Amino acid sequence: MLLLKTIVTKKEVLTTITEDTTLEAALQILEESGFRCVPILDETGKKFLGNIYKMHIYKHKSEGGAMDVPVTHLLKNETKTIHLSSSFFKVFFTIKELPYIAVLNDEDEFYGILTHSALLNMLSQSWNIQEGRYVLTVASTGIQGDLATMSKIIAKYASIASCITLDIGKDEYIRRTIFTLPADTAKETVDAIIEKLEKKSFKVVEVEVLEK
Domain boundaries along the sequence of the chain: 2-122, 130-209
Identify whether the C-beta of residue 126 lies closer than 8 Å to the C-beta of residue 140.
no
Least-confidence region, from 153-157, 166-170, 191-195: 166-170
Q: What mean pLDDT is predicted for residues 42-64?
A: 96
Query: Superfamily for 2-122?
Result: CBS-domain (3.10.580.10)
How high is the pLDDT of residue 33?
Answer: 93
pLDDT at 14 over 80: yes
Is the pLDDT at 108 greater than 70? The verdict is yes
User: pLDDT at position 147, please?
Assistant: 93
Query: CA angle, 41 as apex, 36 and 46 as ends, to 5°?
Result: 135
Residue 43 DSSP SS3: coil
**Rounded Cα gap, residues 29 and 31, in angstroms:** 5
- Given this structure, which CATH class describes domain 130-209? alpha beta
Instruction: Give the torsion sign (CA, 154, 156, 158, 159).
Output: positive
Which of 14-23, 119-128, 189-198 has the weakest average pLDDT? 119-128
CA distance 88 to 197: 30
Q: What average pLDDT does the segment 110-121 reach?
A: 89
- pTM reported for the whole predicted model: 0.69
DSSP H helices in the chain: 2-7, 23-33, 54-62, 88-95, 116-125, 146-155, 187-199
What does the DSSP 8-state code read for residue 106? T
Task: Name the β-bridge partners of 54.
Answer: none
The pLDDT value recorded for residue 96 is 79
**What is the pairing mode between strands 81-83 and 100-104?**
parallel
**Cα angle value 143/144/147 (rounded, 5°):** 90
pLDDT score for 70: 97
Cβ proximity of 181 and 160 under 8 Å: yes
